[in-house]
Structure 1
Amino acid sequence: MKKPLILIFIFTFAISFTGCEKYLDIVPDERPTDEDAFRSPNAALGYLYSIYGYIPKQRSGTYSIDLMTTDEVVTAFEHETFAKFPRGEYTASSPVISYWNDLYKGIRQAYIFKNNIDGVAGIEESTKTQYKAEADFLIGYFHFLLLRMYGPVVIADKQFDINMPVEEYPLRSTYDESVTFISNKLDEAAQALPMEQTSSSDYGRATSVIAKSIKARMLLYAASPLFNGGGANKSSLFSGFTDMDGNQLISTSYEKEKWQQAAAANKEAIDMALAAGKKLYKNSDYDSDFPEDPIEKDLRYVFVDKQTKELIWAETRKETAYDFQNKSTPFIAGTSWNGVAPTLTILEAFYSENGLPIDKDPEYDYQGRYNIDSTALGNTLSLNLNREPRFEAWISYHNDYYEIIRGDKKRIVTNYRRNDDEGIKGRSNNYSPTGYLNKKGVAPLLNQSRLQVSVNYPWPKIRLAELYLNYAEALIEAGQDLNTAKEYIDKVRVRAGIPTIDEAWAPIGGANDQETLREIVRQERTIELYLENHRFWDLRRWQVAEEYLDSKAKGMNIQGETDEEFFQVTEVKFPRNFSQRNYLMPIPQAEINKNELLIQNPGY
């Protein structure tokens, strides 16, 4: 007898009110056949779980297309697969990381499930209805992931015969047709999904709030300049991108109404999330001594705390010892890799302690930001001081505390000069290329005593703060209600321990026009969603990626042995390339070869 496939995705860290952990982590010997999959209720449920397994693993640096591939960080792991993306080293023949085949396999499996679940005895009708809704959600979500990555998709609206002749293969629909299909699929799923999963063992499965949130994110993307005629101030990149009949696959005309649709969808998702008990993570009572500052503690634990109510959807696959946390933590040979390094671009994006951009704050010495300053822990760069709490919570700098368990210590002082403990010391990897380390997403109670991940937690896929910023951005671009937009940005700012927009901007003339608020909401996303798989897509959808991704990162001089040598702005040696074709990923050439009528993306 073959076992049903239950992939790791639905093992749960399962958040329960008692704080206990349950794990559904069954790894079978082989993939199930359709006959096995529908022989019993348990087998059918296992088949449903296996469809979730096609969701890309976002927290894995090695195979995640959007985690460490923009200008947020540069890493010591340029030999790994993901590093080819910031270097622009991918083609249609060698797409490096491509989700095309796996996502369409997942879509096909979802239709197989829908077409067979009614024949399984012993499952209540209400349960079957929910199972079908989950399959519909996954069909819609997989199409969205394809849309985000490749642009106009081949819509799979049914289970296609794998033996169909080539001339019957479906072709790419337009971008707007794809959006309509996905919206309808997610709306249909939301009608039959629960608002929240009440059992801890179901944590990570689809809900109506998740479905509406994905729809809201997609409509935000669809309204953005890349897919909306270049926006109000730019030209479309896709003139001439047509199918065989001359139909424009991505519209070159700007439609302001798309922002209004995005605003409405995000407000609907927010209202549903609040009704389901979601809220911004504040006043953490997590049992740890550090960070000592309560606001920094909230920020550090915002999704690391498994009891957080801010997460709307999370990836529950278990982190390995070679994934995100150990790659970010200060070096210990054989246990932590010291290599996820924030760039000067992202460091300068964080606000001053007054909640203003550092180049606009009259109280911040912007011209002197690269001077050496002294603190109780030793010399550091002036850039690192008088910054907002998110900077201190998420960024480790020279002569700063890194909250981590190391022996009997609960925090250590980090130093990044050449011969320091966290310095390069002549290593070819396992070092910080910029002289900084990331702290976001690293549990302060992570124990570095051996090669392990002592604190596992669900990785954020959607959290409430994103929906607030989505809604604010859509309102700003629609020119609909700028005061409401500021209100929702302020919810995120106040939680982060900085003044509201009106309070912060008052000394420099206020922030009341669309252009200024556009800059503010984009900067808020850059800060708040730092290293959460968003910036890869944001820079593309805003149609500004060349400005940020086509030049080498900068940091400190990590070969410097003294403070004076170390605190010098230095270009990181790793090449970085971006061209217009990189706005969309290439459809694998093997798929084009199967069907010569399938239109490839521009530039490939």
Structure 2
Amino acid sequence: MIKNKNIFVILILSVLFVSCTDLIDPAQENIRDKNTTYDDPNFGLGLLTQGYARIPTNGWSFSEVATDDAVTNVPTNGYLRLATGQWSASNNPTERWTSCLSGIQYMNIVLNEVDKMKFAEDPLVDNLFKSRIKGEAYGLRALFMYHLLQAHAGWVNGTLLGIPIYLTELDINSNYNVPRESFNTCTAQIYSDINNAIELLPVDYVDVASTSSIPSRYNTPGMTTASFNRAMGVRFVGLVSGRVAMAIRSQTSLLAASPAYAGGSNGTWEDAAGYAAQIIALKGGLAGLPSTFNSGVSWYRNASEISALSAGSNSPESLWRGGTSNNNDLERDHFPPSLFGNGIVNPTQNLVDAFPASNGYPISNPLSNYSLSNPYANRDPRLNEFILFQGGRAGVTNAQVNLIPATNPVNQDAVNAVTTSTRTGYYLKKLLRQDVNYNPTGRNTQLHYRPRIRYTEIYLNYAEAANEAWGSVADPRSYGFTAYDIIKAIRRRALGISNDPYLESIKADKVAMRELIRNERRLELSFEGFRFWDLRRWKVSLPKLNEAAMGITVSGTTVSPVYSTPAVVEERVFQDYMYYGPIPYSETLKFNNLFQNDGWNN
């Protein structure tokens, strides 16, 4: 279940936060007794670092290539194999069992040992450090449990099960053959950990200027601003905070209320709406939603915002993020061949068709004035922002991309022209910085960052939950905003329209609003790892889950392109039990109390 059963011993043997002196002092590399670690604050911090390193959203998964949103041109891609009939309990690219349970083990060690450690000579500061570190550990443990439920919760003989719950440090003598707890027991544990984190942590890490600004629970006799800032100040921005813990609770409550889990869960849409509303209130209510296209939609290439990020600070759109990186990995992987990229993720026609017209109407509605012969004209600006299509512009030269086949020389950007070409007639544009030049003769780098949680996600969580709980235009809890208000603001930001006739026409229709909210979530959070899980928690129909990935080809001339009828690029092969991911087959072989989810064998 957890490969390294005695992680504590392994950590003692590790060199954590090594300084230059450590590198030349062999005494630092000697095996150390547990008791000798308690005076070394780097040891406790190193335990936490092991947790942060295991956060599932530290990188981009691009699980969308296993959905109706995208395919990949890499035939060995795990998600491609998953989507086309090779998903099994022993071949599971969505597996989070090993890493997240390992992360929980590290957090259990922190919680078991931190009070024995010493972080500062001043006892007031020492207690603050311990409070913060315990709060982080509770928050991270809750996060790992949430991701484990998302990936591995499922029905077993009529009961919705979660995961085994471990709250203490495991060693080689521990019993690992323990059963999975119910889904409700798991969510209750997550909420308990979140409550502990909120109690122990500041809402945000800021330096206080006066003792009156120190939160009352920390403002014990003798506490000074310098002491508080030393353990809870702005230099810890980027770590789990009270606000981050609240966001994890919002994610968990939305999962628990969703159709795939509601039948065996205590989760309610009212709870999910309330937990999201608390964060929205902290952000400033409806007005707190980043209102400009650059800050809220194209945040990943907002050069001025990204350049201003420092030491964990957030952009207006980012509630919690990983570090910045100065590399071209995304551009290398996803630029089209003409820009020296590998074109790995190819958006589908299915996704392109989900973008409305510029007036807000779905393109299936006659009022959209959609034209099959000019399909990208008068469309939602997010289409051009997220997806590269025929005639779209990309790269440092802002050159038009041509997908019309040619043989002399071969047009590598055309469909299936070479192994790095698109398979669908589209290339990914979202997440990429167009000011990157990947030409080998003049390459440059630009800063990127990966939000772990975006504010738009939380606002969409509220819109979905509130619409299900009491409809889109009601505000029975007096939050000051409705599901309708949020969707209107998100669409106004994207479309640039204050008058949204389609939204107005359906706002009283709960079912139509559900579809619109889900579609806005699909667009706003595209290629950020949501679609694969959203389709499952919504328990969409099996035909929808198996909707084939479609694409087009382009012919004619660049002046007068001709677009083919959409055709199947890749079939999806999912069975009815695949709304819930499996427990790793190897684990069920080792532990006879670990029951597999219904339908999965190996």
Q: TM-score range by the shorter chain?
A: 0.7 to 0.9
Of 312, 316, 322, the match for 2:323: 316
Quote how far apart the aligned CAs of 1:158 are. 2.3
CA deviations over 1:392-435 (Å, ceiling 9, x no partner): 21121111211x22xxx2x1111112336452486552111111
Quote how far apart the aligned CAs of 1:76 are. 1.0
Quote how far apart the aligned CAs of 1:481 are. 5.5
Mapped to 1, the partners of 2:418 and 2:595 lie a distance apart of 42
Distance 1:37 1:89, change over 3 A: farther
CA RMSD of aligned residues (A): 3.3
Letter in 2 for 1:305: I
Q: Is the 8 A contact 1:342 1:395 kept in 2?
A: yes
Determine the structure 2 residue equivalent to 1:155: 165
CA deviations over 1:21-48 (Å, ceiling 9, x no partner): xxxxxxxx99998848655112321221
2:426 is the counterpart of 1:436? yes
Q: Is the 8 A contact 1:355 1:388 kept in 2?
A: yes
Letter in 2 for 1:468: Y
3-state SS of the aligned residue for 2:424?
coil
Determine the structure 1 residue equivalent to 2:51: 51
Quote how far apart the aligned CAs of 1:278 are. 6.1
Mapped to 1, the partners of 2:489 and 2:415 lie a distance apart of 43
Letter in 1 for 2:40: S
Quote how far apart the aligned CAs of 1:95 are. 2.5
2:475 is the counterpart of 1:464? no
Determine the structure 2 residue equivalent to 1:364: 369
Q: What is the correspondence of 1:338-377 to structure 2 with a 5 Å cutoff? A: 338-365=343-370, 368-369=371-372, 371=373
CA deviations over 1:555-595 (Å, ceiling 9, x no partner): 1127x586789621343544421111221111111111122
Mapped to 2, the partners of 1:534 and 1:446 lie a distance apart of 26
Quote how far apart the aligned CAs of 1:349 are. 0.5
Letter in 2 for 1:489: I
Q: Is the 8 A contact 2:321 2:451 kept in 1?
A: yes
Quote how far apart the aligned CAs of 1:498 are. 4.1
Q: What is the correspondence of 1:423-572 to structure 2 with a 5 Å cutoff? A: 423-424=413-414, 428-450=418-440, 454-479=445-470, 482-483=473-474, 484-499=482-497, 503-506=501-504, 509-544=505-540, 546-557=542-553, 567-572=563-568
3-state SS of the aligned residue for 1:362?
helix
Of 239, 261, 264, the match for 1:205: 239
Q: Is the 8 A contact 1:59 1:67 kept in 2?
A: no
2:401 is the counterpart of 1:414? yes
Mapped to 2, the partners of 1:496 and 1:32 lie a distance apart of 57
More helix by share: 2
Letter in 1 for 2:282: M
Mapped to 1, the partners of 2:30 and 2:581 lie a distance apart of 29
Greater Cα offset, 447-456 or 135-144:
447-456
Q: Is the 8 A contact 2:38 2:117 kept in 1?
A: yes
Q: What is the correspondence of 1:185-204 to structure 2 with a 5 Å cutoff? A: 185-198=193-206, 202-204=236-238
2:585 is the counterpart of 1:592? no
Quote how far apart the aligned CAs of 1:272 are. 2.5
Quote how far apart the aligned CAs of 1:522 are. 0.9
Distance 1:137 1:278, change over 3 A: farther
Distance 1:314 1:148, change over 3 A: same
Mapped to 1, the partners of 2:426 and 2:193 lie a distance apart of 44
Distance 1:164 1:297, change over 3 A: closer
Q: Is the 8 A contact 2:336 2:420 kept in 1?
A: no
Determine the structure 2 residue equivalent to 1:181: 189
Letter in 2 for 1:103: C
Distance 1:452 1:160, change over 3 A: farther
> So what's the TM-score if we normalise by structure 1?
0.78
Q: Is the 8 A contact 2:324 2:448 kept in 1?
A: no
Mapped to 2, the partners of 1:582 and 1:226 lie a distance apart of 11
Mapped to 1, the partners of 2:293 and 2:535 lie a distance apart of 32
Distance 1:261 1:424, change over 3 A: same
Quote how far apart the aligned CAs of 1:132 are. 0.7
Mapped to 1, the partners of 2:174 and 2:148 lie a distance apart of 22
Greater Cα offset, 509-518 or 485-494:
509-518
CA deviations over 1:358-392 (Å, ceiling 9, x no partner): 11251413xx42x2xxxxxxxxxx22111011112
3-state SS of the aligned residue for 1:261?
helix
2:325 is the counterpart of 1:325? no
Distance 1:269 1:547, change over 3 A: farther
Letter in 1 for 2:350: T
Determine the structure 1 residue equivalent to 2:157: none
Letter in 2 for 1:538: D
Determine the structure 1 residue equivalent to 2:86: 89
Greater Cα offset, 220-229 or 549-558:
549-558
Of 118, 138, 160, the match for 1:136: 138
Distance 1:111 1:426, change over 3 A: closer
Mapped to 2, the partners of 1:31 and 1:417 lie a distance apart of 64
Determine the structure 1 residue equivalent to 2:9: none
Point out where structure 1 has 5 or more consecutive residues left out of the alignment: 8-28, 230-249, 286-294, 372-381
Determine the structure 1 residue equivalent to 2:270: 260
Greater Cα offset, 310-319 or 561-570:
561-570
Quote how far apart the aligned CAs of 1:137 are. 0.6
Quote how far apart the aligned CAs of 1:58 are. 5.3
Distance 1:105 1:544, change over 3 A: same
Mapped to 1, the partners of 2:171 and 2:453 lie a distance apart of 34
3-state SS of the aligned residue for 1:160?
coil
Q: What is the correspondence of 1:63-142 to structure 2 with a 5 Å cutoff? A: 64=61, 66-123=63-120, 124-142=126-144
Letter in 2 for 1:212: M
Mapped to 2, the partners of 1:296 and 1:532 lie a distance apart of 13
Quote how far apart the aligned CAs of 1:554 are. 1.2
Letter in 2 for 1:301: N
Distance 1:34 1:600, change over 3 A: farther
Quote how far apart the aligned CAs of 1:318 are. 4.3
Q: Is the 8 A contact 1:5 1:30 kept in 2?
A: no
Point out where structure 2 has 5 or more consecutive residues left out of the alignment: 1-11, 19-27, 121-125, 154-161, 207-232, 310-314, 475-481
3-state SS of the aligned residue for 1:462?
strand
Mapped to 2, the partners of 1:505 and 1:572 lie a distance apart of 31
Larger radius of gyration: 2
3-state SS of the aligned residue for 2:448?
coil
Mapped to 1, the partners of 2:556 and 2:405 lie a distance apart of 5
Mapped to 2, the partners of 1:319 and 1:590 lie a distance apart of 38
Quote how far apart the aligned CAs of 1:298 are. 6.4
Quote how far apart the aligned CAs of 1:150 are. 0.8
> So what's the TM-score if we normalise by structure 2?
0.78
